[in-house]
C-alpha cells in the first residue's frame, strides 16, 4: 500500500541551508562594516536654521544637507559649524550639527580689491 509519505517529493534541505548561510554571511559583513566605520567630522556654513531643531548646512564639498542640531547653542545663517557624517546600512548617510566653529578656526575670504 502506498502512503502519503511515499508520494511526497523529497525536500532539498541542503540547498536551503546553503542559501540561508550565504544571505546571513553577506548581511553580517554589511552590518559589521557599517558599525565599524568611524564617523567623519566635516565643516560647513549654515544656510538656514529652524528654531534649534534642524539646520540647512552647506558642507565644505558644496553638498547641502539638512541636519538636526545636537547642542544647546543657538545658530544663525552664516555661522560656521561642525557636522558629523555617519554611514547608515540602508540609505544615504546621516548628518548631525555638533557645534559652532570658533572664529579663529574659520576662514573668511578676503574681498577682492578693485583695480
| Residues 59 and 91 placed together within one structural domain of the fold | yes
pTM: 0.61
3-state class (DSSP) for residue 4: helix
- Least trusted range by pLDDT, from 9-18, 44-53, 66-75: 9-18
- Determine what percent of the chain is predicted with pLDDT higher than 70: 79
Identify the bridge partners of residue 69 per DSSP, sorted by sequence position. 97
Strand arrangement, sheet containing 54-59: 64-68, 54-59, 40-50, 80-86, 94-100
For residue 12, is pLDDT > 90? Answer: no
| Residues 48 and 89 placed together within one structural domain of the fold | yes
Task: Report, as an integer, the average pLDDT of 25-30.
Answer: 88
| Residues 75 and 49 placed together within one structural domain of the fold | yes
Domain with 50, as residue range(s), is 40-100
Residue 105, domain member (yes or no): no
- Give the domain CATH number at 89: 2.40.50.140
Residues ≥6 apart with Cβ < 8 Å to 79 = 45, 46, 100
For residue 5, is pLDDT > 80? Answer: no
Amino acid at each position: 500500500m502506498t502512503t502519503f509519505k511515499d508520494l511526497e517529493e523529497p525536500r532539498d534541505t541542503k540547498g536551503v541551508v546553503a542559501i540561508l548561510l550565504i544571505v546571513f554571511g553577506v548581511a553580517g559583513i554589511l552590518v559589521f562594516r557599517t558599525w565599524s566605520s568611524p564617523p567623519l567630522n566635516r565643516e560647513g556654513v549654515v544656510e538656514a536654521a529652524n528654531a534649534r531643531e534642524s539646520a540647512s548646512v552647506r558642507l565644505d564639498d558644496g553638498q547641502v544637507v539638512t541636519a538636526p542640531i545636537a547642542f544647546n547653542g543657538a545658530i544663525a545663517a552664516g555661522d560656521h559649524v561642525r557636522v558629523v557624517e555617519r554611514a547608515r546600512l540602508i540609505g544615504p548617510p546621516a548628518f548631525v550639527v555638533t557645534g559652532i566653529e570658533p572664529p579663529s578656526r574659520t576662514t573668511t575670504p578676503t574681498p577682492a580689491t578693485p583695480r
